[in-house]
Amino acid sequence: MRRDRDFLKDVPFTSHEYASIVQTNYPGAHDTDYRARVDNLIDQSQRAWPEIPKYEYTKEEHENWALVSKVLVTLQDRYSCTAYLEGREKLGLPMDRIPQLDDVSKRLEELTGFMLAPVGGLLDKSEFLPMLAQKVMRSTPYIRHPDFPFFTPEPDIIHELRGHAAMFTHEPFVELSIGIGNAAAAAVEAGNDELLDMIGLFYWYTVEYGLIYENGEIKIFGAGNNGGIQDLLRSVDPVVEKKPFTLEAIRELSIDYDAPQEVFFVAESYEQITELAHEMMKMA
């Protein structure tokens, strides 16, 4: 059953400027034709807001999706957690073409009530994170630059659908996401920027790049590593640092959107990190 999107009409498409990637060497940052294509898809999204438009993708964009999907699915079969693999099966994303955001949202809404809503880039955490409490995941419609499909410093539709979407079929992860959203909403309401920064780090090192113990093995549940070839390989590389997940361990860290991850954190369970998310809500 589809959710009513009317509650999003009072939410602006964006209130802040998107995080810039032009300082990087990423090919997509400086290719004017590529940036124009990204802007075109964003413009379609903004005009349709809060609905999701039907996007028309090029043959080359579909081929880019197919190439990355083939590699990712092979790696995920070996390294991703059971919840991710089961969610991937439930969604049944096509291998040979980019699916429509609205079709994937429809399936998620039927399974757990989570909804996808379009976005134009990296949103400020004060806008993005509180929406998780309403079971809303903002998702970009464009795809990474074809010259370097192994990593992207900006979210793209591979990151959103190959990375995030499958986990939103898993109820314990849904509860975790709602907990993060409630904590962020409380921090924004209280004007507690220090806590909001902490919640941003929490989100980054769990939902985006989290690892989790499963039957004594370390498995991937984060969207960044499930949705990116380079980060997936780094997260299972034994020479890349991995630490047990605690709030104290991440408190003094920072986020570099443009660079591969230097350290990954391993959660004991979804229940462990959900409990920590609820604790943060009480700090506001």
Q: Are 44 and 141 in contact (CB under 8 A)?
A: yes
| Predicted confidence (pLDDT) at residue 173 exceeds the cutoff of 90 | yes
Report whether pLDDT(39) > 90. Answer: yes
Q: Mean of the pLDDT values across residues 197-216?
A: 97
Distance of CA 282 to the CA centre of its chain: 25
The answer to whether position 38 is within a domain reads yes
138 in a domain, yes or no? yes
- Per-residue pLDDT of 153-168, as tens digits, reads 899 999 999 999 999 9
pLDDT at 103: 98
| Residue 1: inside a domain | no
Is residue 7 pLDDT above 90, yes or no?
yes
Burial of 66 (0-12, 13-18, 19+ CB in 10 A): middle
- Provide the domain count of the chain: 1
Q: Is residue 242 part of a domain?
A: yes
Number of neighbouring beta carbons within 10 Å of residue 2: 10
pLDDT at 218: 97
- pLDDT score of 99 more than 70: yes
Q: What is the pLDDT of residue 22?
A: 59
Higher per-residue pLDDT: 153 or 79: 79
Task: Quote the pLDDT of residue 260.
Answer: 84
73-87, 101-115, 252-266: range with lowest mean pLDDT: 252-266
pLDDT, residue 124, reads 94
State the average pLDDT for the chain.
Answer: 95
For residue 34, give its domain range. 6-10+23-282
Residue 232 domain-assigned (yes or no): yes
Specify the pLDDT at position 284: 80
Residue 131 has pLDDT above 70, yes or no: yes
Predicted confidence at residue 19, as pLDDT, reads: 80
CATH of the domain at 243: 1.10.800.10
Does any domain span residue 151? yes
Query: Does any domain span residue 71?
Result: yes
The DSSP element (H or E) to which 212 belongs, if any, is strand 211-214
Residue type present at position 121: G
Does residue 23 carry a pLDDT above 70? no
Query: With bands split at pLDDT 50, 70 and 90, how would you rate the model's confidence at 281?
Result: confident
Sheet holding 263-267, edge to edge: 217-220, 211-214, 263-267, 241-244
Task: Give SS3 for 244.
Answer: strand
In a domain, 126, yes or no: yes
Segment 251-271 shows an average pLDDT of 91
**What average pLDDT does range 231-243 have in this prediction?**
96
Residue-level pLDDT at 225 = 96
Query: Can you give the pTM of this predicted structure?
Result: 0.96
